[in-house]
């Protein structure tokens, strides 16, 4: 059973369209997400939308991994580009996931995928090796993206930023499940985003769509950028779906229980 998590339904829409024998997966408790199971080819898959933001991702991932017996977890969706050479809709496979400290600008947590896991995955898909920075807010300015690029310490790897990957990885680590994080670039390093996206976030970090609509009355100039992001999101979802299908055929590492290298955090703080 492969569990695929995303923050927004649009990120999973193209992959869900490939799902056969669809069944509803019951999840319970705080942050219980919308989850469905089925098959893609010969592979059993559960797809779940947690909602965006740290709290929704953390609670939603936990509820899904409590509800099903997962052999691996794939977290996927869009992310902001931090490296200047990343193109829109290009795929990045995370070798490392780092977490920005709240109010500090420091990396307070880090998790690293095993080299074997990444190597097997990159034989199946075309993607950049990368670092995903899980930030405390949407990176909506070019200077903010440059700051986070420095924080990523990516070296030769490509870097992107999101709000959820670290929560997904933490849930996988706690459940002793191998993980992959696959991101598609929604906005490049030199593209600012409308400031109203951050202004529309709720206490859990999610962007309230009703808040965005209300914000447009005071900032109508943001509409073209938002429509462009929406179109790009659909393209990204197609790219992510093709890659996810290919990743289903990648063998899951066979490690003794509790001894998977995926569970060994460089700081221990993601456990």
Per-residue pLDDT reduced to its tens digit, 124-148:
999 999 999 999 999 999 999 999 9
**Cα gap 228→207, rounded to integer Å:** 17
**Cα gap 241→218, rounded to integer Å:** 36
Structure tokens that stand for 179 in this block: 């993980």
Average pLDDT, the chain: 88
Contact 145, 80 (CB under 8 A): yes
Cα 44 off chain centre by: 21
For the stretch 20-78, pLDDT in tens is 988 888 887 776 788 899 999 999 999 999 999 999 999 999 999 999 999 999 999 99
Provide φ and ψ at 104, rounded to 5°: -110, -30
Q: Does domain 2-263 have CATH number 3.30.70.1350?
A: no
**Cα gap 134→79, rounded to integer Å:** 10
């Amino acid at each position: 059973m492969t569990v695929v998590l995303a923050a927004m339904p649009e990120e999973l829409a193209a992959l869900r369209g490939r799902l056969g024998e669809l069944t509803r997966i019951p999840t319970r408790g705080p942050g219980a997400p919308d989850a469905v199971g089925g098959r893609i080819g010969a592979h059993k898959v559960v797809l779940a939308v947690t909602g965006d933001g740290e709290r929704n991702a953390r609670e939603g991932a936990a509820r899904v991994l409590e509800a099903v017996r997962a052999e691996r977890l794939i977290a996927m969706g869009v992310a902001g580009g931090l490296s200047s050479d990343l193109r829109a809709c290009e795929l990045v496979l995370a070798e490392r996931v780092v977490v920005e400290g709240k109010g500090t600008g420091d990396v307070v947590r880090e998790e690293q995928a095993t080299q074997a896991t990444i190597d097997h995955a990159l034989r199946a898909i075309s993607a950049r090796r990368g670092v995903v920075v899980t930030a405390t807010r949407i990176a909506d300015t070019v200077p903010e993206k440059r700051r986070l690029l420095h924080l990523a310490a990516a070296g030769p790897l490509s870097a992107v930023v999101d709000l959820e990957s670290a929560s997904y990885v933490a849930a996988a680590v706690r459940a002793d499940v191998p993980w992959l994080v696959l991101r598609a670039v929604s906005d490049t390093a030199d593209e600012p985003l409308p400031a109203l996206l951050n202004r529309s976030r709720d206490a859990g970090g999610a962007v309230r769509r009703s808040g965005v609509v209300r914000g447009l009355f005071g900032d109508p100039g943001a509409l073209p950028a938002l429509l462009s992001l929406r179109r790009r999101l659909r393209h990204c979802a197609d790219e992510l779906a093709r890659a996810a299908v290919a990743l289903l055929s990648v063998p899951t590492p066979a490690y003794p229980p509790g001894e998977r290298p995926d569970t060994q955090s460089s700081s221990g703080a993601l456990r």
